[in-house]
Amino acid sequence: MRTDLFDFELPDSAIALHPAQPRDAARLLVVHPVQGGCASDDADLADKSVSDLPGLLQPGDAIVFNDTRVILAALSGIRIRGETQAKVDFNLTKRVGDNSWRAFARPAKRLETGDRVHFGHSGESCMMGALDATVSAKGEAGEVELAFDFSGDVLDEAIRAVGMMPLPPYIALKRPADDRDRAAYQTVYASKDGAVAAPTAGLHFTPELLDAFEARGVSRHFVTLHVGPGTFLPVKTDDTDTHVMHAEWGEVSAETAQALNNVRAGGGRIVAVGTTSLRLLESAAGDDGTIAAWSGETSIFITPGYRFKAVDILMTNFHLPRSTLFMLVAAFSGLGTMRAAYGHAIRAGYRFYSYGDASLLFPAADGRHG
């Protein structure tokens, strides 16, 4: 499909720079497609709050969260080349060896293969503040590979000591990350290290809100998808068929798969919190909608025409124009429906992107959901 079909005007002021306080005070736009989904330019919309979510679901439903934990993957370093130095910022994206990471560098033009980079030389990291690396490879679009002097658990400890939260560039270019982001850009149920971006729909939940699902009779389940750099990358091609998704590692346990299959068999609905949970469940589901235990990398790219197999309702934040995530929600509820919903959200002052508000999406009634 043409990428420009997923374009829309988004005021710069609509992108949230800070989260709602408390988390569940964020707004929630409930979206029911009408007139057949993709061909529709209308939607049945209701303005709610995230705190209303338990009451919008039914006893017997299941809500699925991504329990990945964001690592402190934003590093600021000093490049050393002979007698010259230059400041370069990095966002770690994927571990490729015991001591090696791929990373986006900014500005990458300051780096060459073989350069040495010093991080955190302030006495705050282990080994007297010495966290050093060598640029072992340089790729396209600002990507490099860093070979650190430390490895294994020692490297993990050093990164935790000197790193900051890897805020998306739409936020990071406007303000630096601070200590408050260490808590705010992490879900309250995060438990498994590995993400370099937050599963942002999950940022809205509080312990009290989680307890409210149990009181409502809605079961809670967890899967793991370590969110990768694809979250940061816009679609730059003119056609979606030529866009390549970055692979992300995920896991659905046998116990969770069986529990969700039992929910479906009992007439309940599966509610995915975030596009990451949805993409993982869809990767683990067979053509008949049965979810199996699953572990591995997924590069699933969902655009209109995709037949959903495992997920009945999606809670997600508001996404950027031409992004793979806006394409996904257009596939779920219909492109016309989502254009109408986003138009309403912009006019009504909803806050977009990682620290923004949320939407609760119901599927298009056009036969594309199993």
The pLDDT tens digits for 298-311 are 999 999 999 999 99
For residue 120, what pLDDT band results from cuts at 50, 70 and 90?
A: confident
Q: How far is the C-alpha of 205 from the C-alpha of 197, rounded, in Å?
A: 17
- Residue 314 confidence (pLDDT): 98
Query: Which of the listed residues 129, 163, 197 is the one where a domain comes to its end?
Result: 163
290 plus 356 within the same structural domain: yes
Token pair 């990507």 in the structure block, residue: 143
**Dihedral pair phi/psi, residue 300, rounded to 5°:** -55, 135
65 plus 88 within the same structural domain: no
With beta carbons less than 8 A apart as the criterion, state whether 251 and 66 touch.
no
257 plus 279 within the same structural domain: yes
65 plus 114 within the same structural domain: no
User: Residue 30 is encoded by which pair of tokens?
Assistant: 């409930």
Non-local (6+) Cβ contacts of 62 within 8 A are 218, 219, 220, 221, 259, 260, 263, 268, 269, 270, 271
Cis preceding linkage at 22, omega within 30: yes
Q: Has residue 63 got a pLDDT over 80?
A: yes
23 plus 130 within the same structural domain: no
Average pLDDT over residues 98-120: 94
With beta carbons less than 8 A apart as the criterion, state whether 64 and 253 touch.
no
* Burial of residue 114 (number of CB atoms within 10 Å: 0-12, 13-18, 19+): exposed
User: Residue 248 is encoded by which pair of tokens?
Assistant: 């992300």
Q: Has residue 122 got a pLDDT over 90?
A: no
For residue 360, what pLDDT band results from cuts at 50, 70 and 90?
A: very high
**Which residue segment(s) compose the domain that 291 sits in?**
3-70+184-361
211 plus 343 within the same structural domain: yes
314 plus 343 within the same structural domain: yes
For residue 179, what pLDDT band results from cuts at 50, 70 and 90?
A: confident
294 plus 192 within the same structural domain: yes
CATH number, residue 86: 2.40.10.240
The pLDDT tens digits for 318-349 are 999 999 999 999 999 999 999 999 999 999 99
347 plus 235 within the same structural domain: yes
Non-local (6+) Cβ contacts of 358 within 8 A are 26, 27, 28, 29, 50, 201, 204, 315, 316, 317, 318
149 plus 202 within the same structural domain: no
Number of domains composing the chain: 2
The pLDDT tens digits for 27-46 are 999 999 986 444 456 789 99
Nearest to 351 by CA among 136, 203, 193: 203
* Pairing mode, strands 62-66 and 192-195: unpaired
User: Residue 225 is encoded by which pair of tokens?
Assistant: 């998808």
195 plus 82 within the same structural domain: no
Domain-embedded: residue 178: no
Query: Which of the listed residues 109, 134, 163 is the one where a domain comes to its end?
Result: 163
Sign of CA dihedral 197, 24, 350, 330: positive
CATH number, residue 328: 3.40.1780.10
